[in-house]
Structure 1
Amino acid sequence: MRFGRWILTGAASALVMAGAATGGLAWAAETGPAEAPAITAKTDTVFLDEIHGQQAMAWVRAQNSHTTGTLEKDPRYAGFYKKVLAGLQAPDRLAMPSFMNGAIWNFWQDAEHPHGIWRETSRASYLKKTPDWTVRLDVDALAKQDGVNWVFKGANCLAPADEHCLVALSNGGEDAETLREFNTTTGQFVQGGFVFSRSKQTVAWVDENTILLARDWDGKGTTLTPSGYPFVVKTMIRGAAPGQEKELFRGEASDMAVTPMVLTDGDGHQLVMIQRNVTFFETRYAVVENGQLHWLALPAKSEVQGLMKGRLIVSVEEDWHPDGHAPIPAGSLISVNPAAAEQGVEVIFTPGPSQSIDQVGVTKNTVLVSLFDNVRGRAMRFTPTQPGKAWQAERLALPDMTSVHIVDTDRTSDTAYLSVEGYLEPLQLWLLEGKGQPHKVRSAPARFKTDALVTEQFWTHSTDGTRIPYFIVHRKDMKLNGANPTLLTAYGGFQVSYTPLYAPEVGQLWLERGGVYVVANIRGGGEFGPAWHEAGRKSGRQKVYDDFASVGRDLINRKITSPRHLGIRGRSNGGLLSGVEMTQHPDLWNAVIIGVPLLDMEHFETMSAGASWAAEYGSMSVPAEAAFLRSISPVQHLKADVSYPEPFIFTATSDDRVGPVHARRFAARLEALGKPFFYYEDIEGGHSGTVNAPEVAHERALEAVYLSHHLMDAD
């Protein structure tokens, strides 16, 4: 969602950030000869907890040297690297649009602009084969000028003109950001304008001279929660002397975070609000009027999606029983009056048993919803009729067996851009205008051959009998002989859904070479709404791991593959999934890729932003939850007498969200037990794991070599 006017870089752009011009050696200039202690069962590895410590970095560089020195020697590596890099820097990639200031804006990175450029064109020009772009901000030039490895993290702009913006800049990709005022009309940073130094911080414009800001106010962390996020919001007035800012709201230190937000609709209504995240999933909202806060009577598990006709558009993530209204099921989308949330509630849409809302976008007169129906992408448009009456619903005609996403919506009209993609269908851009149906205006070129490939959706039963769907992409002539090299992936947490995605590196480095690609839609995600997520939360999380293992066994039972040829991959929460599957079912897989992971679940609450995820995983302070966390924590479950598949572990030194210590402890434990592993830690990169196109290509090529060795090559 977007508070006020956040212009984001997009998931695809986030992978391609600033950095080196050649692949694989971004860390080499700093390293020199790697000298690190050999870790044994008697070694005290506490030095690895000091993220940038000299001894820790020596160990990291030694591991990097071993991994790259081994995998880069494979003659396939160079070709893998070139293919991925070419796709990431291809000039014919789609330039994804953002509506702003009456024009279309886009953030773009390529070989010439590794840090990226923020650029503008007219709406008519954007639809031309070659738009006429005007560069407004050159991040490469800024990084060179400042001597800082700036990563563009988006901009928060003052609606409706979108002229005054605060550009968010991160050093090397970390979550902490520096904010600088930028004028989109002049294309210049504002001399003497607002500047807020590095912090995890959130901001919202009230008017051109007034800003609401939440950040680390004293530099000592006293206004940060245990998760590392701010809980004090202050009002900043242009020209006021330092220290004159006025405190607007102070949450509790035990909160996850407190965020200011300003919503503006196409009719000129503005709503200033405070969002207080008590936990990751429980939120309180207040409307700010004349410096006073009026808390809304919304359910704890709800999310404000936007403002239309002066009314809030809200998704409800738990069953709600507002006064004087019929019960509203979890997963519904509603419209409420911000002056009295429980009065005049209008239900916009309630998904059916096989459905789940993915995204919500608001135009001037309509609400757009992208959703899943049995994990297949759909989109609908909803238009209000009369107050208290059912909203008019209309399904938008888009391709099946794909993912449908809302790229951006225009608050001043009923125009929006949607994206469509599938495992074998390159990214497409569809334009929706007025009351019409969407039509395709852009399509990215194919990056790999698909004539011999097919996508299917299968179902299997988990340990408790629950039906679990999964997508499988394979050659049409695949033989059911148990010998097909197969890569299985999933996420299974935070109500995040894994849906069809066109990934050129998967097609080029895996599918074209005879590999089978499988995506499991396990519990913990959002594929079937809040209940699907709730089933895998906290101590119910073993269901997530059982679902995933059940899909693996189903692939084996169908004779698609066998443990010898079956590998798994996951990152972040999915990295935890891979770690658990490696320790719980070491004989089911022959390759395990673990990316930017959580792995020490007995201590995650005290590591980086870990405290914010207690609502998802449980807490060591609760005896029953602590017992479960101990039962699944991968670091503590590595054993000397068990034969494990040799994993590939990757992380980033600058990841200030999960942090690299999880991965380090896991790898160090393997080393102490004398178990083989590959470990790669990007010195920069944040939670994305890698910060620039060459480094992304390098890491993906290393993975491809690793998977080839373990799943494809002859015994």
Structure 2
Amino acid sequence: METCMPARQNTAQTATGADPHLWLEDVAGEAPLEWVRGQNAVASGELEATPQFAALHARFKTILNSQDRIPYVSLHEGYYYNFWRDATHVRGIWRRTTPEQFVLADPAWQTMLDLDTLAAAEDENWVWAGADFLHRDTRCLLSLSRGGGDACVLREFDVATLAFVADGFRLPEAKTRSAWIDRDTLFVATDFGPGSMTSSGYPRIVKEWRRGTPLDQALTVFEGAPDDLAVGAAKDFTPGHEFQLIWRSMSFYANQLYLREGAGLVKVDKPDDATAYTVRDQLIIELRSEWTVNGAVYPQGALLATDFRRHMRGERDFAVLFAPTPTSSLDGVSATRSALLLNELDNVKNRIVELRHVDGAWQRRTVNAPAFGTLDASALDSIDSDQYFLSVTDFLTPTTLYLAEAGSDERLQLKALPAYFDAAPCRVQQFQATSRDGTAVPYFVVSGKDAAPGAERPALLYGYGGFEVSLKPFYSAVTGSAWLEQGGVYVLANIRGGGEFGPRWHQAALKEHRQRAFDDFIAVAEDLLARGLSTPRRLGIMGGSNGGLLVGAVMAQRPELFNAVVCQVPLLDMKRYHQLLAGASWMGEYGDPDDPAQWDYIARYSPYQNVHAGKRYPRVLFTTSTRDDRVHPGHARKMAALMQGQGHDVLYWENTEGGHAGAANNDQQAMMWALTYAFLLKQLG
């Protein structure tokens, strides 16, 4: 096999500046796929032969296909809809039941669409990507992905007939954004042909498409710029407030909002880095930076509300619904028929606050919910119902799903996970590490109660640190059974770049400050070692996507701290990331490597440019997916090839389906996680 491959190189660039592993960026090319098959055979051959693999794989398949999992649902016209995969339905079924049936231990489900049957009939590897209903109607738009990528086929479906609509709305595979206007009209942003997509690979044109007319005759509503991130549109179906809104994202952190009035668009006044949306008659604005209006200063991370129509007339009178503190941030907002549910995060612990707009003033009430772990509140129907789902979980407590109602603290337990592992011997602790610049960085440790300092337990440190994503306590049957029950210590780091303390925490690690996220992660590793919770020989790190960049950079900078690295669907070649798939959309996070001044700071941490022959690194398992059309699999491919060429002992495994999630069904997930934990147990056990 190797005789047909280009010669191995031990640097990311040749003397002429060319990347010798560039050929691996050809996702579906025969030579790269032959290389992938060879790498998969080596990784699978070694890890499947470990003593732990068979038991892990069998247990994960049982867990992931368990009938005891919570079937998360959405409400539409009196039915709860759910998409479900198990051992019988590998690709899955879309089904529904009534609220009365759902509370039963074994609800009666009606199948709407069997994806295994559809895939077999059409000879397609369909992966479910969601359903978008028309308000108070039986019609919906189904999104189906080939192999799990972000690009989807769009088809109109009628739940009254359990069939796709003949001559209904249908769009070919693309990164489409669509929304209903009425039964015969859609907003559509898709690939309309050359010049219609942004440099990030997303639509830049919104059109109004009427039923029965060719797509190329659809009315253009808005055009963004070629170097924008994306555009889209939506309609609010709240009676009396049927606003049509167009949004333009210039980057991940800059956007504009327009109100469509007749044939024209009126820009909504707000900071470009703020998120805005309507809830009934109110305009809600989430601030990512401080905003001064008519002498009033509204803080970064605040949530504001004002009358939308008065705002469009030029009035500026905001109510502050949430103001952050040094330890608190806004974790989410959900609207019921008459209330706003704010999910606040304080020192990485949630609380739910209910707000009602009564006689022109906002009334606040803290919901009496469990005061531990992670809470999530999600409205069933923001137009017609005050009910919401409340999910409660933490590292050691199986997730429980409740039905609650705005205005009351009473709730009905609907579903709960069984205990997939024995949590009784375990405990959760929260510590703080001190980063290089003196910043206190919190982290969670899940370990056995008898894990005394100096016990030298195997420990797994997980992090992300980007895009304002908050890492919160969660119940994982996979982690619990594969790691905690084996005596392992699990560590979750809340480093800068994330959203645990709001926009300021995220922005502290943007662009030229990216090293702070890596410093925070290193500080957590050093702190848990100093506490005697593990040793470098028994400490591993894991991260995916941006977290893959994190562990890749930290591995290159401080290899002596670790003995295993799991690097999943990662970004690694930061010289070319903006030229690969959706990479251009992330320049607001990392910077532009084509700008010499920005490349100067990116080059200092880009993993692909910072690993070297003759230096010892912990052993690495790279995992990715051929069908990942968000983060290019070339990142992981090239890094593995580079490090192998330098003489480093790394493993590489690529799933041929799965998209950015890495796996397209439960069986693929079971295989991916069994290989991962077999690797960790072998390296750190």
Taking structure 1 as the reference length, the TM-score comes to 0.92
Matches within 5 A, 1:150-161: 150-159=126-135, 161=136
Question: What is residue 532 of structure 2 aligned with on the other side?
Answer: 559
Displacement after TM superposition at 1:578 (Å): 0.6
Report the Cα distance in structure 1 between the residues aligned to 2:127 and 2:379, rounded to whole angstroms: 22
Report the Cα distance in structure 2 between the residues aligned to 1:437 and 1:409, rounded to whole angstroms: 17
Question: What is residue 210 of structure 1 aligned with on the other side?
Answer: 185
Displacement after TM superposition at 1:502 (Å): 0.7
After superposition, the C-alpha distances for 1:632-671 in whole angstroms (9 at most, x for unaligned) are 1101111112101110000011111011000011001111
> Which residue of 128, 139, 146 maps to 1:164?
139
Q: Does residue 304 in structure 1 map to residue 272 in structure 2?
A: no
Query: In structure 2, the residue corresponding to 1:417 is in which secondary structure?
Result: strand
- Is the CA contact (8 Å cut-off) linking 2:304 and 2:321 kept in structure 1? yes
Report the Cα distance in structure 2 between the residues aligned to 1:559 and 1:202, rounded to whole angstroms: 50
Question: What is residue 200 of structure 1 aligned with on the other side?
Answer: 175
- Is the CA contact (8 Å cut-off) linking 1:212 and 1:236 kept in structure 2? yes
Between 276-285 and 137-146, the greater mean CA deviation after superposition? 137-146
- Is the CA contact (8 Å cut-off) linking 2:50 and 2:682 kept in structure 1? no
Quick one: which amino acid aligns to residue 275 of structure 1?
Answer: W
After superposition, the C-alpha distances for 1:16-62 in whole angstroms (9 at most, x for unaligned) are xxxxxxxxxxxxxxxxx898637522794332121110100000000
Report the Cα distance in structure 2 between the residues aligned to 1:257 and 1:631, rounded to whole angstroms: 30
Question: What is residue 380 of structure 2 aligned with on the other side?
Answer: 409
Query: In structure 2, the residue corresponding to 1:321 is in which secondary structure?
Result: strand
- Is the CA contact (8 Å cut-off) linking 1:497 and 1:521 kept in structure 2? yes
Between the two proteins, what is the percent identity of the paired residues? 38
Q: Does residue 399 in structure 1 map to residue 370 in structure 2?
A: yes
Report the Cα distance in structure 1 between the residues aligned to 2:355 and 2:104, rounded to whole angstroms: 30
Structure 1 residue runs of 5 or longer lacking an equivalent are 1-32
- Is the CA contact (8 Å cut-off) linking 1:337 and 1:343 kept in structure 2? no
Question: What is residue 337 of structure 1 aligned with on the other side?
Answer: 307
Quick one: which amino acid aligns to residue 269 of structure 2?
Answer: A
Displacement after TM superposition at 1:385 (Å): 2.4
Question: What is residue 528 of structure 1 aligned with on the other side?
Answer: 501
Report the Cα distance in structure 2 between the residues aligned to 1:133 and 1:611, rounded to whole angstroms: 43
Question: What is residue 8 of structure 1 aligned with on the other side?
Answer: none
Report the Cα distance in structure 2 between the residues aligned to 1:35 and 1:452, rounded to whole angstroms: 53
Question: What is residue 49 of structure 1 aligned with on the other side?
Answer: 25
Question: What is residue 286 of structure 2 aligned with on the other side?
Answer: 315
Matches within 5 A, 1:140-155: 140-155=116-131
Report the Cα distance in structure 2 between the residues aligned to 1:362 and 1:701, rounded to whole angstroms: 39
- Is the CA contact (8 Å cut-off) linking 1:35 and 1:59 kept in structure 2? no
Quick one: which amino acid aligns to residue 505 of structure 1?
Answer: V
Q: Does residue 97 in structure 1 map to residue 73 in structure 2?
A: yes
Query: In structure 2, the residue corresponding to 1:546 is in which secondary structure?
Result: helix
Q: Relative to structure 1, is the Cα distance of residues 605 and 206 closer, same or farther in structure 2, using a 3 angstrom cutoff?
A: same
Q: Does residue 131 in structure 1 map to residue 102 in structure 2?
A: no
After superposition, the C-alpha distances for 1:518-546 in whole angstroms (9 at most, x for unaligned) are 00000000000000000011111111000
> Which residue of 267, 276, 280 maps to 1:295?
267
> Which residue of 236, 254, 278 maps to 1:282?
254
Report the Cα distance in structure 2 between the residues aligned to 1:645 and 1:510, rounded to whole angstroms: 19
- Is the CA contact (8 Å cut-off) linking 1:361 and 1:409 kept in structure 2? no
Query: In structure 1, the residue corresponding to 2:453 is in which secondary structure?
Result: coil
After superposition, the C-alpha distances for 1:477-497 in whole angstroms (9 at most, x for unaligned) are 112115110000010000000
Query: In structure 2, the residue corresponding to 1:470 is in which secondary structure?
Result: strand
Report the Cα distance in structure 2 between the residues aligned to 1:478 and 1:685, rounded to whole angstroms: 37
Question: What is residue 229 of structure 1 aligned with on the other side?
Answer: 202
* Over 6 Å off, 4+ runs: none
Question: What is residue 17 of structure 2 aligned with on the other side?
Answer: none
Q: Does residue 426 in structure 1 map to residue 398 in structure 2?
A: yes
Displacement after TM superposition at 1:309 (Å): 2.8
Report the Cα distance in structure 2 between the residues aligned to 1:86 and 1:407, rounded to whole angstroms: 29
Between 138-147 and 126-135, the greater mean CA deviation after superposition? 126-135
Matches within 5 A, 1:54-73: 54-73=30-49
- Is the CA contact (8 Å cut-off) linking 2:354 and 2:406 kept in structure 1? no
After superposition, the C-alpha distances for 1:278-318 in whole angstroms (9 at most, x for unaligned) are 1111110001121211110011122235x433223332222
Question: What is residue 672 of structure 1 aligned with on the other side?
Answer: 645
Displacement after TM superposition at 1:268 (Å): 5.0
- Is the CA contact (8 Å cut-off) linking 1:362 and 1:409 kept in structure 2? no
Question: What is residue 327 of structure 1 aligned with on the other side?
Answer: 297
Quick one: which amino acid aligns to residue 365 of structure 2?
Answer: E
Structure 2 residue runs of 5 or longer lacking an equivalent are 15-19
Displacement after TM superposition at 1:101 (Å): 1.8
Report the Cα distance in structure 1 between the residues aligned to 2:250 and 2:664, rounded to whole angstroms: 31
Quick one: which amino acid aligns to residue 483 of structure 2?
Answer: W
- Is the CA contact (8 Å cut-off) linking 1:272 and 1:288 kept in structure 2? yes
Query: In structure 2, the residue corresponding to 1:243 is in which secondary structure?
Result: helix
Quick one: which amino acid aligns to residue 179 of structure 1?
Answer: L
After superposition, the C-alpha distances for 1:89-131 in whole angstroms (9 at most, x for unaligned) are 0001111121212321111111111111111122222222222
Displacement after TM superposition at 1:550 (Å): 0.2
Quick one: which amino acid aligns to residue 286 of structure 1?
Answer: Y
After superposition, the C-alpha distances for 1:566-620 in whole angstroms (9 at most, x for unaligned) are 1000000000001001100010100000000000011111011100000000112
> Which residue of 550, 565, 572 maps to 1:577?
550
- Is the CA contact (8 Å cut-off) linking 2:339 and 2:406 kept in structure 1? no
Q: Does residue 37 in structure 1 map to residue 5 in structure 2?
A: yes
Q: Relative to structure 1, is the Cα distance of residues 457 and 242 closer, same or farther in structure 2, using a 3 angstrom cutoff?
A: closer
Quick one: which amino acid aligns to residue 92 of structure 2?
Answer: G
Report the Cα distance in structure 2 between the residues aligned to 1:318 and 1:405, rounded to whole angstroms: 25
Q: Relative to structure 1, is the Cα distance of residues 200 and 707 closer, same or farther in structure 2, using a 3 angstrom cutoff?
A: same
Question: What is residue 494 of structure 1 aligned with on the other side?
Answer: 467
Question: What is residue 615 of structure 1 aligned with on the other side?
Answer: 588
Query: In structure 2, the residue corresponding to 1:380 is in which secondary structure?
Result: strand
Quick one: which amino acid aligns to residue 115 of structure 2?
Answer: V
Superposition RMSD in Å: 1.6
Report the Cα distance in structure 2 between the residues aligned to 1:433 and 1:91, rounded to whole angstroms: 28
Report the Cα distance in structure 1 between the residues aligned to 2:624 and 2:263, rounded to whole angstroms: 44
Quick one: which amino acid aligns to residue 225 of structure 1?
Answer: T
Q: Relative to structure 1, is the Cα distance of residues 643 and 155 closer, same or farther in structure 2, using a 3 angstrom cutoff?
A: same
Displacement after TM superposition at 1:249 (Å): 0.6
Displacement after TM superposition at 1:193 (Å): 0.5
Report the Cα distance in structure 1 between the residues aligned to 2:407 and 2:257, rounded to whole angstroms: 32
Taking structure 2 as the reference length, the TM-score comes to 0.96
- Is the CA contact (8 Å cut-off) linking 1:226 and 1:253 kept in structure 2? yes
Displacement after TM superposition at 1:564 (Å): 0.7
